[in-house]
Amino acid sequence: MNKDIATPKRTKEILEKHGFKFKKSLGQNFLIDPNILANIVQAAGVTESTGVIEVGPGIGALTEHSARQAKNVLAFEIDQRLLPILKETMGPYPHVKVVNEDVLKADLHAQIQENFEAEQDLAVIANLPYYVTTPILMKLLEEKLPVRVMVVMMQLEVAERIAAKPGSKAYGSLSIAAQYYAEAETVFTVPRTVFMPPPNVDSAILRLTRREKPPVEVVDETFFFELVRASFVQRRKTLLNNLSKFFEEKLSKQEVTERLQEIGIDGKRRAETLTIKEFAALTSAFYRYTGDPR
């Protein structure tokens, strides 16, 4: 087996050899602990028939661990300066393909079709840049890719928000959006000390297991997510106040109260206490009376 990339000594050697300097704007923090990388791949249940999609491979530390287990790996790297490094570090792994593309602009369905077999078991495994974690994650979920699981490293606080349950401070529109598409759980936390350079925050590994179908049926997905976001606009305000503001050109406060009473939801509650089922009920109630309010 080749020497691990993810040790402080080897990482330094590779970076110095190529004269690589970290770009703060790209949120580059490279992992230097092989055990954590092995645990990430293990958490995704990767087998020799699995295809892995990675976002932001850096110098290939996590890519290498995926490549040792998986059938093939497709990695999206936005930073051109890393391409020659990856060409060298991934030399022993011909089943790794690196694409120099921003994953947020990529046609992922086309890439999957081109690089993986039909019906192949697929997993996303990534150490996501903190500054674009949420947009990347939501693109991967919203595009309904044929991916079984996503195991991603991110800022601890964001992972807690995504996996949060109703009634907790971390629970919000991001929790509901993610949990509509997948079951979310934090697998383990990662200290900032195992990165080069160390970030200012601790991280967590989040596992998102794709649902075959959403946990609730909604009349209109776009309206559902809009209503959820509107309910959380001002967290300290009641549901009634937030919804009255959202519908101010369509419904009076009294009418909003009546709609809520009809479905048995107390307008004095705050959005963070509502389950995803209650948000689905809200969507039906308000969509029926107002059509799409946008």
Residue 102 is labelled as binding a ligand:
yes
Contact yes or no for 200/192 (Cβ under 8 A) = yes
Q: Which letter does DSSP use for residue 80 in this model?
A: G
Task: Please report which helix (H) or strand (E) contains residue 31, including its range.
Answer: strand 30-31
Q: Do strands 51-55 and 122-127 pair parallel, antiparallel, or not at all (unpaired)?
A: parallel
φ, ψ (nearest 5 deg) of residue 249 = -90, -5
Q: What gap in Å lies between CA 193 and CA 104, rounded to an integer?
A: 29
- Other Cβ atoms less than 10 A from the Cβ of 219: the count is 14
In DSSP terms, 126 is beta-bridged to 152
**Residue 31 is assigned to a ligand binding site:** yes
Is 77 among the annotated ligand-binding positions? Answer: yes
E strand or H helix at 154? strand 149-155
Check the annotation: does 29 bind a ligand: yes
Please say whether the beta carbons of 173 and 133 come within 8 A. Answer: no
The region, left, alpha or beta by phi > 0 then psi within -120 to 50, assigned to residue 119 is: left
Residue 153, token pair as written in the block: 């490293």
Tell me the chain's radius of gyration from C-alpha atoms.
22
Please state whether 27 falls in left (phi above 0), alpha (psi between -120 and 50) or beta: left
Find, among 159, 164, 214, the residue nearest to 40 by Cα: 159
Q: Which amino acid is at 196?
A: M
Binding residues for S-adenosyl-L-methionine: 29, 31, 56, 77, 102, 127
* Residue list for the binding site: 29, 31, 56, 77, 102, 127
